[in-house]
Structure 1
Amino acid sequence: MNTIKVTRIFLIYVLMLLGFLDSPFFIQRVAFAFSHDVSLPGLDPNNEHRMWVNLKEKPWCIIGRVQTELGQKCTGFFIAPRLIMTAAHCLWIKKTNRLVPTRSVHFLWGYQKGYYIKDIKIKQIVINKEYVGQSKINVPLNNIVKDRAYLVVDKATINSKDIVPLQSISSLSHAALWLGGYEQDKKEVFQVDPHCNITNIIQVNTHQKVIEHNCEATFGSSGSPLFVKDKNKEWSIIGMQIAAFTAGKGGIANPILQLMQ
């Protein structure tokens, strides 16, 4: 370990003891510093511009962290008062080739730095019957289009007026996007890339497509909604994040209305 890294770690340790790490500004700076040392897919460490958002405000108030008692962590969001959507691979156990037990899945609604509105237990998990669980890299597109999970909850939790409408990608070939997540380099906070776009729409088969984008997002962002905001400042969701590119920033998402079919 070189002198610069030792000095950085020592400084962080001292500031933790003094309590200065409670500052959101400082946490962003520290996480940014470490992102130069750790290579993660979907990110550009030389062009860091992810930002914090208020998860009590619309449209972010539908967001939460999906986690299991086995340690998996991803992002999820309400699409109805009793229905949460996330990526199926977040709930898949590769060793047993099956889903995690429903009882082990939690949705920490509004999670930010250890605080959350509610720990929502899941009643039922529903995935595409044709989905095949695979590793994090080199997943074929014909499996990515099936990668979604519905998490059903017992009681309506979120107010229906806070649910964000879903929109087709048919007229949004180069739309400006907002994409966030509980990402591996900053997993205790939900951060958003507000400066990215659709770069391509790929026809996978007769009925299914995937969205390629250049948003900064890495492991942990899977299951996060792709937001767009129109000229009237109205929000909608056009997709759900599935995978990060292995080289450079960006990734692949599924069109949201396609996932509802």
Structure 2
Amino acid sequence: MKRSGIIAILIILVLVLPATADGLRRLTDREDLLGWEAVGRLDLDGRGFCTGTLIAPDLVLTAAHCVYDGNIRDLRPADKIMFRAGLRDGVAIAERRGLQIAAHPDYDPEQPPSVENIRYDVALIRLSEPITSRDADPFVIHSGQNAGNQISVASYGVNRAEALSRQRKCTLLAERNEVIAFDCNVTFGSSGAPVFVRVGGRGRILSLVSAGGNFDGKKVGFGMVLPQRIAELKAQLRRNPVTAPDRRIKRLAPGAGRNSTGARFVRPGGG
């Protein structure tokens, strides 16, 4: 693998990187999607979308710039973010709203794209309810030895927002200072998409799509090394726990309440 300095014009993919279609395959049929259900579209309260991936039944991994409300330091309300696992032509394997967001504290949404910002462009979204592995099996983060320079990407994007598209083969071009460059096909909405290496029988997440620009005269994507960033974000979630609302249904006994008629009512939300 070529290892050299990464000198680039960096542009956040949510905004400007032009789309192409080379090497992409639309996962149209249910059989095509088998094994990729944990990758989904993150709908951002009607203000666009990113790509996210389950790494635990209740944890979605994505880019930090996806969870900020524009170029300001305010996080989007977690419950306004909807994760739609395996979305295909309007039908998702499962849908869950966000409950809690942890964006890496060293990512600065007010700063333009840079190598430094890409390194920390990582966020975790805790879901309001888990998605069982029966519906979508979470992916594992790659750690340890480099698995070579052949990688793949699964993502949503402009002009392909209604179904997951997969590029089975692309190349890891360079790595330096925990930032990597790759020639995978990414576009608007691909931010947060998982970059996979093949280990054993299933892909593991090597990086996330963060930004796009030019490297050695080619249009490329940029991502970050993940294990340490994810460990830091999980610690952040543990330090600031959020309790999911009690969604159990409670039954009122006959005669309960001052003006009861004796009928039994079911009150949603347990309130």
Per the normalisation by structure 1, the TM-score is: 0.72
Q: After superposition, what is the alpha-carbon deviation per residue over 1:85-124, rounded to whole angstroms, capped at 9, x for unaligned?
A: 1111112223654111122111111111211122201111
Q: Does the CA contact (< 8 Å) of 2:100 and 2:126 recur in 1? A: yes
The amino acid of 1:239's aligned partner reads S
1:55 shift after superposition: 6.4
More strand by share: 2
Q: Does the CA contact (< 8 Å) of 1:55 and 1:110 recur in 2? A: no
1:164 shift after superposition: 2.2
Once residues 67 and 228 of structure 1 are traced to their aligned partners in structure 2, the CA distance between those partners, rounded to angstroms, is 26
1:216 shift after superposition: 0.8
1:43 shift after superposition: 4.6
The correspondence of residues 71-82 of structure 1 with structure 2, limited to 5 A, is: 71-82=47-58
2:227 is the counterpart of 1:227: no
The correspondence of residues 1-261 of structure 1 with structure 2, limited to 5 A, is: 41=17, 43-44=19-20, 48-53=22-27, 54=31, 56-58=33-35, 60-94=36-70, 96-134=72-110, 139-159=113-133, 162-168=137-143, 170-172=145-147, 174-203=148-177, 209-230=178-199, 232-245=200-213, 248-261=218-231
Moved more, 80-89 or 250-259: 250-259
Runs of 4+ in 1 over 4 A off after TM superposition: 42-45
Q: Does the CA contact (< 8 Å) of 1:106 and 1:120 recur in 2? A: yes
More helix by share: 1
Listed as ranges, the gaps of 5+ residues in structure 1 are 1-39, 204-208
Once residues 174 and 143 of structure 2 are traced to their aligned partners in structure 1, the CA distance between those partners, rounded to angstroms, is 15
Aligned identity (percent) is: 24
Q: After superposition, what is the alpha-carbon deviation per residue over 1:150-178, rounded to whole angstroms, capped at 9, x for unaligned?
A: 11123321318922222126423x42111
Once residues 196 and 71 of structure 2 are traced to their aligned partners in structure 1, the CA distance between those partners, rounded to angstroms, is 34
The CA RMSD measured in Å over matched residues stands at: 2.4
Q: Does the CA contact (< 8 Å) of 1:200 and 1:211 recur in 2? A: yes
Q: Quick check: which has more Rg, 1 or 2?
A: 2
Once residues 107 and 44 of structure 1 are traced to their aligned partners in structure 2, the CA distance between those partners, rounded to angstroms, is 25
Per the normalisation by structure 2, the TM-score is: 0.70
The one of the two structures with greater contact order (alpha-carbon pairs below 8 A, sep at least 6) is 2
The amino acid of 1:148's aligned partner reads V
Secondary structure, counterpart of 2:37 in structure 1: helix
Once residues 145 and 42 of structure 1 are traced to their aligned partners in structure 2, the CA distance between those partners, rounded to angstroms, is 22
